[in-house]
């Protein structure tokens, strides 16, 4: 088994996939704790559909380096969703659902009407389920993904205390001088960046799993924000690595294998929690 893995590690795209996949898993788990606690677990799903729609538009317009278009579009929608005020006519889960299905439908419609690809169903399937996207990254995409991942982790470390305050009690955070709106804007931007990056790893339909499962697993055993965050990060990285290695050796789809490992770990943590009681 180790010999087989060592053989596969000779391939540069396998090494790239493992490094980028690990970094993406780390990023997604860090923000996952905040999103779960803020009751925004499903925003990942909504934004990933927005990214799909943006990718379709980029494809139709033949924009080279579609991430340069997809990223700003997703960030914009994330800001709109997370900063929806109390006076907005469409709020919360309704806004997420509306943008989610709207972007998915319009994206697929545009692809069908104007696509220049010879394999439309393949392109759509690869975007939705990840397929082998993480194993087919170009060097530029590897460096871009790694750079953005490092930036996300750095921002999380730098603003850890503020994120902690905003996550649990916005009113209290505002009362003690924290710029809550700026923090929420930061969260929105970071989430959008993670979503666009994670589309390469697990596809747009499975991104929510990458964000919420490690956090939910960690919450079964730990109570403090720091412990949950650290445990979530460790679990997410280990699950992503395990899933990718199983997929590479066993020839299974990368995204769904990673999510299956995440689910197995969650079930294991639920059992451990029951035993401890």
Instruction: Give the binding site for other proteins (CB under 8 A).
Output: 8, 10-16, 19, 22-23, 119, 121-126, 129, 131-132, 135-136, 138, 142-143, 146, 149-150, 153-154, 157-158, 160, 247-254
Q: Which is nearer to other proteins, 85 or 250 (CB)?
A: 250
CA distance 127 to 112: 15
C-alpha 49/C-alpha 56 separation (Å) is 11
Q: Which is nearer to other proteins, 165 or 254 (CB)?
A: 254
| HEC sequence for 43-63 | HHHHHHHHHHHHHHHHHHCCC
Min. distance of Cβ 62 from other proteins in angstroms? 16
Of the pair 125, 271, the CB lying nearest other proteins is at 125
Q: How far is the CB of 253 from other proteins (least distance, A)?
A: 4
Rounded-to-integer distance, Cα 76 and Cα 65, Å: 18
The backbone region for 65, taken as left when phi is positive above 0, alpha when psi lies in -120 to 50, beta otherwise, is left
Nearer to other proteins, 30 or 36 (CB): 30
CB of 11 to other proteins, least distance (A): 4
**CB of 88 or CB of 158, closer to other proteins:** 158
In the structure encoding, which two tokens stand for residue 66, read together? 């579609």
CB of 149 to other proteins, least distance (A): 8
Distance of closest approach, residue 126 Cβ to other proteins, in angstroms: 5
CA of residue 105 relative to chain centroid, distance: 21
Among residues 185, 189, 182, 205, which one has the least CA distance to residue 259? 205
Q: Measured between alpha carbons, how far is 268 from 186 in angstroms, rounded to an integer?
A: 33
CA–CA distance, 126 with 120 (Å, rounded to integer): 10
Measured from the CB atom, the residue of 37 and 146 that comes closer to other proteins is: 146
Rounded to whole angstroms, how far apart are CA atoms 261 and 112? 34
Shortest CB 234 distance to other proteins, Å:
14
């Amino acid at each position: 088994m180790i010999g087989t893995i060592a053989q596969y590690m000779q391939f540069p795209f396998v090494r790239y996939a493992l490094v980028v996949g690990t970094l993406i898993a780390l990023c997604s788990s860090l923000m996952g704790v905040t999103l779960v606690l803020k009751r925004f677990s499903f925003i990942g799903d909504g934004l990933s559909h927005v990214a799909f729609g943006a990718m379709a538009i980029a494809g139709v317009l033949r924009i080279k380096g579609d991430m340069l278009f997809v990223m700003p579009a997703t960030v914009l929608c994330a800001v709109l969703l997370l900063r929806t005020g109390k006076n907005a006519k469409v709020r919360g889960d309704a806004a997420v659902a509306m943008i989610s299905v709207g972007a998915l439908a319009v994206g697929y419609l545009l692809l069908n009407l104007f696509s220049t690809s010879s394999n439309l169903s393949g392109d759509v399937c690869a975007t939705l389920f990840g397929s082998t996207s993480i194993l087919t990254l170009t060097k530029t995409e590897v460096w871009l993904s790694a750079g953005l991942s490092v930036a996300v982790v750095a921002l999380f470390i730098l603003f850890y205390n503020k994120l902690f305050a905003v996550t649990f009690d916005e009113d209290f955070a505002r009362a003690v001088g924290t710029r809550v709106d700026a923090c929420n804007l930061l969260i929105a931007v970071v989430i959008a960046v993670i979503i666009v990056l994670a589309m390469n790893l697990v596809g747009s339909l499975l991104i929510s799993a990458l964000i919420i499962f490690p956090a939910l697993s960690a919450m079964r055993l730990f109570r403090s924000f720091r412990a949950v965050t650290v445990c979530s990060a460790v679990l997410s990285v280990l699950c992503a690595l395990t899933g990718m290695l199983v997929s590479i050796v066993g020839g299974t789809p990368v995204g769904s294998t990673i999510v299956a490992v995440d689910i197995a770990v969650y079930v294991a943590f639920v059992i451990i929690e029951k035993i401890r009681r």
